[in-house]
């Protein structure tokens, strides 16, 4: 009997001791805790009291692992006992039930049967299966992945490493007690495990064949301070290109006039919800498509208001190039640029999210009677700033225009005041001149999910961006961090079905085999043989932009990674670096202030799917925000746990 | 908390009996009881009586037990403490040394015996037994798809519900899905408010969000209340207060508590004071880094030079299982006070306290600048982690 003591928690020991007592024995009421309840419990032993405890981390974590295993076992045991009690009443002693439950490996039905048949034979089999359970405890909880545990750690990229991580994730983080972790259904991926990922060799050829006869696809995000005229500019452009039916435009004109917001009629092309139209500001990224001479452009109209920057960030993560719109009106450019406006923040954000080509539309020039001085003045100021922000001078183009009157958008301007000093490109030509970005097609699949909804026939649909690799209908894919397997039913690009999509595309994918509750925005869909990494702690190199108070250890932040938004904190300030050379200036700084560069360790509140920058640029970038301000951008250099 | 009995001898050894009366009192008790203390309370114990034939009968009985504490769990949701340990006084039902878990709940007396009541513990008793008119505040902090319903008392912020749903984005031709998603989300929040907010005691409900979510929600809630004739909400309409916050995550409650409108309304709760002190620490760190220290090593050094003007310390440090460590922290507090410094003990259940806890749990604003400790020293303390 003593053999399984280590499996169950200590309470039973006491019972055993009290067994031969003459006057009977008393039993402590055990409580089993539902996971949702557990989230509200403060257990002193589990609280990590930070750095000032002189204990060795490794050992501590191991202890905890066992403990929560025990905890889990106990809870499981309790629920089984409860169930059996429900059927049998109190005719059996608790000890008998417990024995049976443990003996039959928590299989209630079998335990019940054995208890009901109570004969020596089943007792016998009880004992033999008990022996088996001995070795199970440590691996049991992990479910299907236990097989991989014994393998040695090899490269950073293997499947086993991820599994290893998963083990600790399930058991050691306090998170595993929270309701959210219920999502982490262990997956049996044994058969897939044996195959190694290798690039489909024909993928490049296939891509050429598929896409060579169509125009280059380009994703452009339109950014700038609130009310710079982004939506109006784009709405007017779409209109002039014939993308918006005249009837529709007429309707917008009528309706916006009724609301007394006629100046927003073009913005309505992109601002579609009632809320946006009534308030006259964009709240979530609007999408539309148009063609230039050589390109098929999907435009993403970002919101300028600072409260909606999270949406803008998720949009920027999907863009290849950016169009920065600034308001040339006197005083307005200054608000947006000099005094904490979003012109700076947006430009820094898109740059740190990997956009390197930028067009600047100096808009509303009609309000300053197309003044060349104003144009040049703004251009000079922005040039200096954009260079500091990391844009190459050759990659930045300036174009004067007016979204409301539609000057210099598609056709050369008819404004004499403008033609007198400007005969450069129109906005459309500038867009057409963007260089097509590189598409990492031959890497394993990574797809960042940015929206989840029910499609036709209430099938689960996800949309987002293929960051690397390609995706075909019929593929089996892994959704991380919940590690759910799904099958791709169909793929559409702007409502047209496609059999295969490639890196850079932003399709809508219909999935089967997975529930809506088990996927969230910010999840990564990836190749089963070569899955994305999952961790809640990582090292990254950051550039600190502008902070009101210095960054210290423990500083709470919101982490943005693709479309994901998650609370996090700095768990360690490793070193402060020289901004240009990258040399270590100071080890373990006490704090970081404005315009510094540093190596830090970040702890996220729950595991997320991510990659090192050196391996997958697209998934190796993070943006850190505090109190509605972007305080830093970083590149992931090392994944810890 | 009601103190019904107190006896402490000259060496600080003694016992006290309390009756917890408010939610906060359970939290105070959690901070008072440490491993090794002895707790006595009335409890229910299950007893198996076995006859000589082996068949047994089980019954429950109420009995008073005295346990030597080995572990303490604080159940914020159920508002109780679970104190587990071995029985110290045998009686007819429970043998000596048997394990038992005592549930300490509201309005039920318990007795706590300590070998040594130190200054921090005594101060805690004082605070706990000094009835302050606590402004009870409820807060709903949210962003699209994510909401927390919390109760804020002077000593803690209790998260009551977390609502986390995914709402489809707006997209051409699918606007209804977005709108359906969002009304379902709002309905869930309203349900949570009705379930967790007791409008008889709560004086104010803060509704905070970035953007317009809070306004939309408020409008929706009032509309629904009118539609369903929900008296509870309609009668308490005036208690709702809309506040801008920068995110919908729980830690943004700190910004909310700093909002002037809120400060006015809930006046000097402990929470607001703590937020201010921490803010001051960070400002000092920004402007005069040599006057803002954190971490045990630095604080000890500053304390030796009697340089500490304000000490910020997290109450979690006093819950350390290591008795000696606890003693060290108590000593720092005592000596700062002796040299005329101000000590602020942060509740680790407030966002500001959580933040301090992340920052080693110990920070100080100094009277005069002091040199930073050597890098080597720093490294030592880091590797000790
Ligand atoms: N005079 C003039 N007004 C313009 C021009 N472009 C836009 N506006 C006005 O500027 C206001 C804001 O336009 P929006 O297009 O909604 O601005 P936005 O940048 O999309 O704003 P957010 O999306 O909320 O950040 C509207 O009233 C427009 O009529 C322009 O070229 N000239
Ligand atoms: Mg707009």
Domain count for chain B, please give it: 3
Q: Is residue A120 part of a domain?
A: no
Distance from CA of B134 to the nearest CA of A (A): 23
SS3 helix, strand, coil % of chain A, rounded to 5? 35, 25, 35
- The token duo for A610 is 């991510």
What pLDDT was estimated at residue A132? Answer: 42
The predicted model gives A123-152 an average pLDDT of 40
Strand A295-301, strand A286-291: pairing: antiparallel
Specify the range with the lowest mean pLDDT, choosing from A177-181, B34-38, B328-332: A177-181
The CA distance from A153 to A321, in Å, is 40
Q: How many CB atoms lie within 10 A of CB B261?
A: 13
Q: Show the 3-state SS of A163-220.
A: HHHHHHHHHCCHHHHCHHHHHCCCCCCHHHHHCCCCCCCCHHHHHHHHHCCCCEEEEE
What pLDDT was estimated at residue A430? Answer: 92
- State what percent of residues in chain A have pLDDT above 90: 32
- Domain span at B259: 137-265
Q: Is residue A304 part of a domain?
A: yes
DSSP H helix total and E strand total for chain A: 19, 24
Same domain, A523 and A538: no
Q: Is residue A507 part of a domain?
A: yes
- The token duo for A313 is 């960030």
- Tell me the C-alpha to C-alpha distance, in Å, between residue A426 and each of A133, A320, A374: 74, 20, 19
Q: Of B99, B128, B157, which closes a domain?
A: B128
Higher pLDDT, A107 or B265: B265
- The token duo for A270 is 């992109």
Same domain, B9 and B98: yes
What pLDDT was estimated at residue A340? Answer: 76
Alpha helices in B108-174 (DSSP H): 119-129
A47 → chain B, closest CA residue: B316
Whole-angstrom Cα Rg for chain B: 25
If you measure from the C-alpha of residue A461 to the centroid of ligand 2, how many angstroms do you get, rounded to a whole number?
A: 27
Same domain, A395 and A336: yes
Q: What is the distance in angstroms between the CA of the first residue and the CA of the last residue of chain B?
A: 37
Q: B177, exposed or middle or buried, with CB in 10 Å at 0-12, 13-18, 19+?
A: middle
Helix (H, G, I), strand (E, B) or coil at B36: coil
Same domain, A465 and A576: no
- The token duo for B138 is 């409820």
Domain count for chain A, please give it: 4
Same domain, A314 and A461: no
- Domain span at A246: 214-432
If you measure from the C-alpha of residue A509 to the centroid of ligand 2, how many angstroms do you get, rounded to a whole number?
A: 27
Higher pLDDT, A11 or B309: B309
- Residues sharing a CB contact under 8 Å with residue B4, sequence separation 6 or more, in sequence order: B17, B18, B19, B109
Is A544's pLDDT higher than 80?
yes
> What is the CATH classification number for the domain harbouring B47?
2.30.30.870
- State what percent of residues in chain A have pLDDT above 70: 69
Per residue in A42-87, pLDDT (tens digit) is 655 544 433 333 333 333 333 333 344 555 555 555 555 555 555 5
With tokens 């490109």, the residue in question is A425
DSSP code for B168: P
What pLDDT was estimated at residue A44? Answer: 58
Specify the range with the lowest mean pLDDT, choosing from A40-54, A125-139, A353-367, A498-512: A125-139
Same domain, B6 and B121: yes
Tell me which residues have their CB closer than 6 angstroms to ligand 1.
A 224, 226-232, 263-264, 267, 280-282, 303-305, 363-364, 366-367, 402-404
- State what percent of residues in chain B have pLDDT above 70: 91
Q: Is residue A577 part of a domain?
A: yes
Q: What is the distance in angstroms between the CA of the first residue and the CA of the last residue of chain A?
A: 38
Count of CB pairs separated by less than 8 Å, A with B: 209
With CA atoms as reference, report the closest residue to B329 among B309, B340, B343, B348. B343
Phi, psi of A198 (to 5 degrees): -140, 145
Same domain, B150 and B254: yes
Phi, psi of A639 (to 5 degrees): -105, 125
Residue nearest (by alpha carbon) to ligand 1 atom 30: A364
Q: Residues 60-119, chain B: which have Cβ within 8 Å of A?
A: 71-78, 82, 92-95, 98-101
A100 — pLDDT class (breaks 50, 70, 90): low
Specify the range with the lowest mean pLDDT, choosing from A180-184, A481-485, B76-80, B192-196: A180-184
On average, the pLDDT of chain A sits at: 76
Say if CB A218 and CB A321 are below 8 A apart: yes
Beta strands in B105-229 (DSSP E): 110-114, 137-143, 146-152, 157-164, 204-209
If you measure from the C-alpha of residue A470 to the centroid of ligand 1, how many angstroms do you get, rounded to a whole number?
A: 38
Per residue in A347-399, pLDDT (tens digit) is 989 998 889 999 999 999 999 989 999 999 999 999 999 998 889 999 999 99
> What is the CATH classification number for the domain harbouring A510?
2.40.30.10
A457 — pLDDT class (breaks 50, 70, 90): confident
Same domain, B183 and B163: yes
Same domain, A351 and A422: yes
C-beta atoms of A591 and B289 within 8 A: yes
Closest CB to A273 among B98, B99, B170? B170
Q: How many CB atoms lie within 10 A of CB A42?
A: 18
Per residue in A296-352, pLDDT (tens digit) is 899 999 999 988 999 999 889 889 999 999 999 998 898 888 877 889 889 989 998
Q: Of B224, B248, B265, which closes a domain?
A: B265
A88 — pLDDT class (breaks 50, 70, 90): low
Same domain, B158 and B121: no
Say if CB A584 and CB A577 are below 8 A apart: yes
Q: Of B250, B265, B280, which closes a domain?
A: B265
A487 — pLDDT class (breaks 50, 70, 90): very high
Cis-peptide, bond into residue A309, ω within 30° of zero: no
Q: Is residue A404 part of a domain?
A: yes
Higher pLDDT, B385 or A610: A610
Alpha helices in A353-415 (DSSP H): 372-389
Q: Is residue A416 part of a domain?
A: yes
């Amino acid at each position: 009997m003593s053999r399984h003591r280590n499996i169950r928690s200590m309470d039973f020991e006491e019972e055993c001791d009290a067994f031969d007592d003459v006057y009977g024995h008393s039993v402590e009421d055990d409580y089993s805790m539902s996971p949702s309840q557990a989230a509200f419990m403060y257990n002193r032993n589990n609280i990590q009291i930070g750095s000032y405890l002189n204990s060795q981390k490794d050992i501590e974590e191991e202890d905890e692992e066992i403990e929560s295993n025990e905890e889990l076992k106990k809870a499981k045991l309790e629920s089984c006992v409860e169930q059996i009690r429900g059927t049998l009443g109190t005719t059996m002693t608790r000890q008998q039930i417990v024995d049976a439950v443990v003996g039959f490996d928590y299989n209630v039905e079998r335990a019940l049967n054995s208890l009901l048949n109570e004969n020596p034979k089943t007792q016998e089999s009880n004992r033999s299966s008990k022996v088996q359970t001995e070795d199970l405890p440590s691996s049991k909880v992990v479910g299907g992945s236990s097989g991989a545990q014994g393998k040695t750690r090899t490269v950073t990229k293997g499947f086993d490493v991820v599994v290893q991580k998963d083990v600790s994730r399930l058991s050691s983080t306090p998170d595993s007690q929270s309701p959210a972790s219920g999502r982490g259904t262990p997956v049996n991926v044994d058969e897939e495990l044996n195959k190694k990922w290798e690039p489909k060799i024909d993928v490049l050829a296939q891509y050429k064949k598929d896409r060579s006869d169509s125009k280059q696809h380009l994703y452009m995000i339109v950014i700038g301070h609130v009310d710079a005229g982004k939506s109006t500019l784009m709405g007017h452009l779409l209109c002039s290109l014939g993308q918006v039916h005249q009837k529709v435009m007429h309707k917008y004109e009528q309706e916006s006039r009724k609301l007394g917001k006629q100046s927003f009629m073009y913005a309505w092309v992109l601002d579609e919800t009632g809320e946006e139209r009534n308030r006259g500001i964009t709240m979530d990224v609007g999408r539309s498509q148009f063609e230039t001479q050589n390109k098929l452009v999907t435009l993403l109209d970002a919101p300028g208001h600072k409260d909606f920057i999270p949406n803008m960030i998720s949009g920027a993560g999907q863009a290849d190039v950016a169009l920065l719109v600034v308001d040339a009106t006197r005083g307005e450019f200054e608000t947006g640029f000099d005094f904490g406006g979003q012109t700076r923040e947006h430009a820094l954000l898109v740059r740190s999210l990997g956009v390197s080509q930028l067009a600047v539309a100096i808009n509303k020039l009609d309000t300053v009677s197309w003044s060349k001085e104003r144009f040049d003045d703004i251009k000079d100021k922005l040039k200096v700033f954009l260079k500091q922000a990391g844009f190459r001078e050759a990659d930045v183009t300036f174009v004067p225009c007016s979204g409301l009157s539609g000057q210099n958008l598609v056709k050369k301007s008819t404004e004499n005041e403008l033609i007198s000093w400007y005969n450069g490109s129109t906005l459309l030509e500038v867009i057409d001149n963007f260089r097509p970005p590189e598409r990492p097609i031959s890497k394993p699949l990574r797809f960042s999910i940015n929206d989840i909804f029910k499609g036709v026939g209430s099938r689960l649909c996800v949309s987002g961006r293929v960051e690397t690799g390609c995706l075909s209908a019929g593929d089996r894919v892994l959704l991380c961090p919940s590690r759910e397997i799904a099958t791709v039913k169909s793929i559409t690009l702007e409502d047209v079905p496609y059999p295969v999509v490639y890196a850079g595309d932003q399709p809508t994918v219909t999935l089967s085999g997975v529930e809506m509750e088990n996927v969230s925005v910010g999840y990564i869909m990836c190749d089963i043989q070569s899955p994305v990494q999952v961790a809640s702690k990582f090292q990254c190199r950051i550039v600190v932009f502008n902070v009101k108070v210095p960054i210290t250890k423990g500083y709470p932040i919101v982490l943005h990674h693709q479309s994901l938004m998650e609370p996090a904190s700095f768990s360690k300030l490793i070193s402060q670096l020289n901004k240009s050379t990258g040399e270590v200036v100071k080890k373990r700084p006490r704090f970081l202030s404005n315009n510094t560069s540093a190596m830090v360790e970040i702890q996220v509140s729950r595991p997320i799917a991510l990659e090192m920058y050196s391996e997958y640029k697209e998934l190796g970038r993070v943006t850190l925000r505090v109190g509605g301000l972007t305080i830093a951008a970083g590149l992931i250099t090392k994944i810890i746990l | 908390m009601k103190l019904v009995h107190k006896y402490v001898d000259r060496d600080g050894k003694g016992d006290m009996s309390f009756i917890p009366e408010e939610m906060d009192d359970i939290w105070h008790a959690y901070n008072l009881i440490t491993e090794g203390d002895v707790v006595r309370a009335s409890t229910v114990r299950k007893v198996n009586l076995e006859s000589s034939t082996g068949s047994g009968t089980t019954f429950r009985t109420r009995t008073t037990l005295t346990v030597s504490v080995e572990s303490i769990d604080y159940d914020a949701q159920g508002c109780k403490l679970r104190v587990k340990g071995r029985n110290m006084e045998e009686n007819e039902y429970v043998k000596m040394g048997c394990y038992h878990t005592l549930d300490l709940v509201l309005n039920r007396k318990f007795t706590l015996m300590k070998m040594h009541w130190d200054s921090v513990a005594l101060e805690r008793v004082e605070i706990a037994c000094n009835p302050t008119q606590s402004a009870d505040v409820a807060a709903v902090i949210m962003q699209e798809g994510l909401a927390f319903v919390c109760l804020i008392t002077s000593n803690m912020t209790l998260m009551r519900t977390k609502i986390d749903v995914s709402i489809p984005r707006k997209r051409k031709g699918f606007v209804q899905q977005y709108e359906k998603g969002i009304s379902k989300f709002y309905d869930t929040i309203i349900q949570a408010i009705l379930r967790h907010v007791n409008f008889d005691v709560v004086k104010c409900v803060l509704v905070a969000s970035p953007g317009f979510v809070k306004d939309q929600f408020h409008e929706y809630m009032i509309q629904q209340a009118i539609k369903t004739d929900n008296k509870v909400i309609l009668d308490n309409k005036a208690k709702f207060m809309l506040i801008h916050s920068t995110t919908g995550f729980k830690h943004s409650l700190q910004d909310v508590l700093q909002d002037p409108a809120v400060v006015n309304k809930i006046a000097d709760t402990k929470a607001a004071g703590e937020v201010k002190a921490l803010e001051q620490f960070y400002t000092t760190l920004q402007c005069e880094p040599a006057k803002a220290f954190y971490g045990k090593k630095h604080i000890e050094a500053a304390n030796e030079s009697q340089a500490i003007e304000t000490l910020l310390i997290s109450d979690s440090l006093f819950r350390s299982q290591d008795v000696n460590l606890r003693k060290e922290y108590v000593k720092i507090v005592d000596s700062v006070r002796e040299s005329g410094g101000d000590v602020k003990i942060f509740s680790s259940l407030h966002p500001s306290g959580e933040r301090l806890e992340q920052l080693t749990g110990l920070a100080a604003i100094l009277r005069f600048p002091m040199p930073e400790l050597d890098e080597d020293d720093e490294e030592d303390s880091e590797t000790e982690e």
